[in-house]
Amino acid sequence: MMKNSESNLRKTLEAKFPQAKNIVVSDISGGCGSMYEIFVESKEFKGLSTVKQHRLITETLKSEIKDMHGLRIHTSIVE
């Protein structure tokens, strides 16, 4: 079951990446919401380096990240 904060992060990412094939947000902090793992698979990343892909994610979640202890980001390009 997706928690409220996971759902909110996912909705924010869906709004920024409307062409994403897959977006997964997981609270990996044991439920306290201080650490998340995020996976975004989108053709919008085509032509971008991994660093630039991850920067798009962190810029999108800038206000949410300030309250987090950590964030793991994984991205993939849909061909």
What are the tens digits of pLDDT across the range 9-68?
999 999 999 999 999 999 999 888 889 999 999 999 999 999 999 999 999 999 999 888
Q: Where are the domains of the chain?
A: 4-76
pLDDT score, position 2: 55
pTM metric for this prediction: 0.89
Give residue 23's Cα distance to chain centre.
7
pLDDT score, position 67: 86
Are 3 and 27 in contact, with CB atoms under 8 Å apart?
Answer: yes
pLDDT score, position 56: 97
pLDDT score, position 1: 47
| The CATH number fitting domain 4-76, selected from 3.10.110.10, 3.50.50.60, 3.40.50.800, 3.30.300.90 | 3.30.300.90
Per the listing, tokens 């990343």 go with 45
